[in-house]
Amino acid sequence: MDGQLGQLSDAAAAEYATLTAPNGKVHLIAKELGQLNGAISDALQTGSTPNDLMDRRDLLFDQLSELGQVSLTPQDNGSVTVAFGDAATPLVDGTTVTWPQTLTTPNGRLGALKQLSDPGGTLDTYRKSLSAAARTLADSVNDLHASPPFFTFTDGSEAATLKVGVTASQIVTSTTADPGANDLAGKIAGLRSGSADAAYRTFVSTLGADVNAVNREQANAKALTQSVDDRRTSVNGVSLDEEMTNLVRFQRAYQASARSMSTMDEMLEQLIMRTGRVGL
Amino acid sequence: MNGRITTGMLQRNILADLQRSTSQLSRTQAKLSSGKEITRPSDDPAGTAKALSLRESLRGTQQHAKNVDDAITWTDATESALSSMTDIVQRARTLVVNGASDGTDQTSRDAIAKEIDQLAESLKEQANMRYAGRQLFSGTATTTAPYDAGSDAYAGNTGQMAREIGPGVSVNVNTTADTILGSGQAAGDDKLLDTLRDISDHLRAGDGASLRGTDLDRIDKGVESLLTARATNGALTNRLESASSRLAAVEEMTVKSLSDTEDADLAKTMIDLTTQTSAYQAALKAGANIVQSSLMDFLR
């Protein structure tokens, strides 16, 4: 179990490193944002509106804010300054990209990965309490079964290294040498429901409560995200009904103006062809 | 809440709702197929802690039941050895009565003395009985026979063999041979081996007075000590048997409350599953209708 926690922690650390590496995902998005900033301010200077470039830039903002906390500051020349996480220097300022930088609490996906894998983070805490439970078990048994110690372990990684340190013939059941005496074995059996059991039980229920809380928070965050997304799409989204209605409206307007053209034409025809037949 | 509802919004809401229904369904299905209400600690952290301590006390009860079974076979084996010893001593007593009468001549007394010697050896053989490779009457020195051939000295110790039959409750299950048979003439402890060897000497010496007098009393005392040991042992067996049935009851109770804690209520889960399935189907149908239709369907 300790090994699995370790692998999980390593995997999270590796993913964090891949995302934040030079030419990793963050860097690539930042570079493209820099180029788009340049292209957009150039286009604005020549008086045109580069809508497709702006759309592309918005999409990149979305992708970047999945990875970490992003705050945007629009500049007068149409470029946008991007601050990322708690990095000291803006990630993108005009066409300048500053990456890699040190992040402490970047939030978003990077923040989660960092919190999982950092020393003192979630997985590290679990490994420590697992080790503490293993240590309690080993110590309480070893106190009674000291020579040779019943359990062996390495300090600091008890859960991973805990091993039964005796062979069947080395197990001592009594403080006397009599083969039928079992006072020590009885005392070890008496450790049942003791501090080691309690430590492990606490670990399991803490883990369960944590996962439970995280599941609830995830549901809340999902609902919030959806509500915010709804707000956004209610402003910039496309409603087919609305577009259809507009289409019909414009079609009707077009028909109406066509009709007024033909009416005008008929009037002129009347005027030119039918009146004042002079000279005929 | 939202001023303007867009097509994308509708689709996303429907997808999110479907997702929620599916995850509920999958949880209910997991409950049904595993038969467990709690399949992982996060399902019910408090219930998990309770289930853990219940399972721990269940293991404890099962181990205590095993200890009791072991102790009962131990006391049964002890009882059968003690009962054979009683038969042997009763036979010795009859012989002493025969030998003590003045009508018995010295040849017969010599023959009786020989038989008494044999009976003493049989007593030692019974005391050397083993159960599952362990000496019954040697105290905690279970690999040492209490009596060596050719010597009446007790070779075991006086250690008590404890069996834990409940939380914090231990009983001593063994009877040591030195309290009944003693260590023979050399020790002069007035126990059965000492008595029988003395009787044999008195028979050979033709000492009818001692035979009629103290020897009969002494052998009666020996029978008495055997009976006391058997009574103690029998009372212990009774106590162990009642402990065994009590432990079985405790185990059944623990299993039941463990099942109450972590097993799924089948009827309730079944009904949940049906409700959720129909809700899911309704959501699917509504979703299919809404996603397909737009104003476009109604305009030529």
Structure ipTM: 0.72
What angle in degrees, to the nearest 10, is found between the helix axes of A51-67 and A25-45?
A: 150
> Which parts of chain A sit beneath pLDDT 50?
none
User: Which residue in chain A is spatially nearest to B171 when comparing CA positions?
Assistant: A186
| Chain B: closest CA distance from residue A100 (Å) | 36
Who's near B222: CB < 8 A, 6+ residues apart?
A: B89, B180, B191, B192, B195
A103-112, B114-123, B287-296: least confidently modelled range: B287-296
In the predicted model, what is the mean pLDDT of residues B234-246? 95
Q: Which residues make beta-bridge pairs with A71?
A: A83
Interface of A with B (CB under 8 A): 174, 176, 178-183, 186, 189-190, 192-193, 197, 200-202, 204-212, 215, 222, 226-227, 229-231, 233-235, 237-242, 244-245, 248
Average pLDDT of chain A is: 89
| Chain B: closest CA distance from residue A36 (Å) | 27
**Per-residue pLDDT, A61:** 92
Q: Which residue has the tokens 């017969």?
A: B108
Cα distance between residue A114 and residue A5, in whole Å: 15
Q: Contact A237/B7, CB-based, under 8 Å?
A: yes
pTM of this prediction?
Answer: 0.74
Q: Contact B7/A201, CB-based, under 8 Å?
A: no
- Phi and psi, residue A73, nearest 5°: -125, 110
**Per-residue pLDDT, B300:** 63
Average pLDDT of chain B is: 90
| Chain A: closest CA distance from residue B60 (Å) | 8
Q: Contact A179/B141, CB-based, under 8 Å?
A: yes
pLDDT at residue B1 tops 60: no
| Chain B: closest CA distance from residue A95 (Å) | 34
Contact A96, A75 (CB under 8 A): no
- Phi and psi, residue B97, nearest 5°: -60, -45
Q: Contact A248/B296, CB-based, under 8 Å?
A: no
**Per-residue pLDDT, B176:** 92
A209 to chain B: which residues are within 8 Å by CB? Answer: 42, 45
B4, B44, B143 member nearest A234 (Cβ): B4
A227 to chain B: which residues are within 8 Å by CB? Answer: 1
Q: Contact A208/B45, CB-based, under 8 Å?
A: yes
Q: Contact A234/B299, CB-based, under 8 Å?
A: no
A180, A206, A230 member nearest B9 (Cβ): A230
Q: Contact A208/B159, CB-based, under 8 Å?
A: no
| Chain A: closest CA distance from residue B22 (Å) | 14
In the predicted model, what is the mean pLDDT of residues B244-256? 95
Helix, strand, coil distribution of chain B in percent, nearest 5: 70, 5, 25
What angle in degrees, to the nearest 10, is found between the helix axes of B192-205 and B45-100?
A: 10
B170 to chain A: which residues are within 8 Å by CB? Answer: 186
pLDDT single digits (tens) B138-179: 999 988 999 998 889 999 998 888 999 988 889 999 999 999
Could you write out the DSSP letters of every residue in A125-167?
HHHHHHHHHHHHHHHHHHHHSTTTTSEE--TT-HHHH-EE-S-
Contact B182, B70 (CB under 8 A): no
**B300: Cα separation from own chain's centroid:** 86
B135 to chain A: which residues are within 8 Å by CB? Answer: 180
pLDDT single digits (tens) B33-65: 999 988 888 888 889 989 999 999 999 999 999
**E strands in chain A:** 70-74, 80-84, 92-93, 96-97, 151-152, 163-164
Could you write out the DSSP letters of every residue in chain B?
--S---HHHHHHHHHHHHHHHHHHHHHHHHHHHH-BS-SSGGG-HHHHHHHHHHHHHHHHHHHHHHHHHHHHHHHHHHHHHHHHHHHHHHHHHHHHHHHHSTTS-HHHHHHHHHHHHHHHHHHHHHHT-EETTEESSSTT-TTS-SS-TT--S--S-----EEEEETTEEEE----GGGTTTT-TTTT--SHHHHHHHHHHHHHHT-HHHIIIIIHHHHHHHHHHHHHHHHHHHHHHHHHHHHHHHHHHHHHHHHHHHHHHHB--HHHHHHHHHHHHHHHHHHHHHHHHHHH--GGGG--
A94-103, B89-98, B252-261, B290-299: least confidently modelled range: B290-299
A178 to chain B: which residues are within 8 Å by CB? Answer: 139-142, 157, 159
